[in-house]
Amino acid sequence: MIQKDPLKKKTFAVDIDGTITLNGMGSIHLEALSKLRSLKDEGHNVILVTGRSSVEGYLLSIFGGLTHLAVGENGGCITFGDKIQHKLLGNKGECIHALATIQSKLDAEIKEKPVFPRMTEVVLERTFDIKQAQKIIDEDNLNVSLTDSGYAYHINSKGVDKGSGFLEAIKMLEVDVNDTIAIGDSETDVPLFKAIKNNIAVSNSTENLKKLAKIITTKKSGEGVLEGLDMIASDLR
């Protein structure tokens, strides 16, 4: 079970797509969002940690009544503050260079996914063999990582991921990592779960993520978030 320390407030790291959405689709599970807002109202931090743009995460946190800070672009950017500020943790230039290299060497359709503009990463359609692309990255010693969120492929600066991004965020908030809880579902959440030992994987999570989870829910996505939070409710009182 989740490590219990009821004397301190917790900081939640919550993925968006596949986690607080309706059955993995794009629509937000409103009951799950309401539950997260209740945690914020009780004094806990609730931070969205997403593969989406940090601006998208930040706007959802504003309208959803969560902590006004979001980690986006799989850890590449933190957006925060009442006067919106961005902390860039990745280098988009090296990601663009990696994309050009992969396109020149891989005989496949490789195109960017139409998404909210990114400041530190490149987002691609899932139309090619990611293992072949990874081989090119390794052979050319490119300073990037290539990951599959289940919705898109992401090129990020090496060493930049949800785990490193969230650790930087809690440093900004002066929060101890032992007082954090992560909730997620995909391969991009693996670094987050490695950084945060108290964690919840919803039932639609990848097998790699489930191997790291303290709690695995029986329900999917938003319903799984509600289930997982109910399971640790006594630890938060």
Q: Which residues are catalytic?
A: 15
Order the strands of the 11-14 sheet from edge to edge.
85-88, 77-80, 69-72, 45-49, 11-14, 180-184, 199-201, 215-216
Lay out the sheet containing 144-148: strands in order across: 122-124, 153-157, 144-148
Any idea of the CA torsion for 83, 76, 190, 180, to the nearest 10 degrees? -30
Round to whole Å and give the CA distance between 195 and 162: 9
CA distance 82 to 225: 28
State the amino acid at position 79 in one-letter form.
Answer: T
Q: Which one, of 200, 206, 162, 207, lies nearest residue 183 by Cα?
A: 200
Side-chain-side CA neighbours of 62 within 13 Å: the count stands at 12
Q: What share of the chain is helix, strand, coil (3-state, %, to 5)?
A: 40, 20, 40
Rounded-to-integer distance, Cα 123 and Cα 67, Å? 26
Through-space distance between the first and last CA atoms of the chain, rounded to whole angstroms: 15
